Amino acid sequence: MLFRADFEVVGPLFEAPWCKNDEEKPEFSKEAKYRMQVLSCKVLPCMDDIHSRKSVYFGCVDLLLAFTYDLLMREGDENPESGWNIAKLASSLSWLQNFHSIDQVLINFLRRLLCFPLYRNWKFGKIVVKQVSSLLLSKQGTKNMKQSARRSK
């Protein structure tokens, strides 16, 4: 083979913190735990209907996908271009897209992933989607979501 691709994805060299084993997960400080408790006690404005609530949740997934792409691409290091990457990849930030299904979220994210950033790779996009889905399906993630859903009722 004479030519090699400039950017090949064999597997993620850096994993998002939520994909690590329980022993390797970072612990929150007392101050961080206190801040989360204080924030969880605030009453949010009521949503009119279930469609607007779903749209907010899908927007959060869109932001998680963009953040995770940036986190994995820079391997956890600080980068001044992170804000630009996240703003370009998240449709909810770049042009205030309202989503009505998870399919729309994934299609828009993967399309933007293949258009805007410096490194455009389909396999890397699938890795990002897999890591975000593991976060949302983890025991800790679902536990927190169920608690916040009970509080909002």
| Residue-wise pLDDT tens digits, 28-68 | 788 888 887 887 676 666 767 777 788 889 999 999 999 99
- Domain membership of residue 11 (yes or no) is no
Q: Which two tokens stand for residue 30?
A: 């007392």
How does pLDDT run across 71-107, given as a tens digit for each residue?
A: 988 888 878 888 899 999 999 998 888 899 999 999 9
Q: Which residues contact 116 (CB under 8 A, 6 or more apart)?
A: 85, 88, 89
Q: Residue 93 falls within a domain, yes or no?
A: yes
Torsion sign across C-alpha atoms 144, 145, 149, 150: negative
Q: What is the pLDDT of residue 102?
A: 93
Tokens (6 digits) for 88: 């370009």
Query: In terms of Cα–Cα distance, which of 141, 65, 54, 64 is closest to 99?
Result: 54
Residue 121 forms part of a structural domain: yes
Q: Which two tokens stand for residue 144?
A: 């927190």
Residue 66 is encoded by which pair of tokens? 């963009």
Domain range for 67 is 49-152
The dihedral built from the CA positions of residue 128, 135, 77 and 111, taken in this order, carries a sign that is: positive
What number of other Cβ atoms are within 10 A of residue 65's Cβ? 27
pLDDT in tens, 123-153: 999 999 999 998 888 866 555 545 544 554 4
Q: Identify whether 7 is part of a domain.
A: no
| Tally of structural domains, the chain | 1
Decide if 18 is inside a domain.
Answer: no
Rg over CA atoms, the chain: 17
Lowest mean pLDDT across 55-59, 82-86, 110-114, 117-121: 117-121
| Contact of 20 with 135, CB cutoff 8 Å | no
pLDDT band at 108 (very low <50, low <70, confident <90, very high): very high
pTM of structure: 0.67
77 in any annotated domain: yes
pLDDT category of residue 5 using cuts at 50, 70 and 90: low
Question: Which value, to the nearest 10 degrees, does the dihedral of the CA atoms of residues 133, 141, 62, 34 take?
Answer: -150
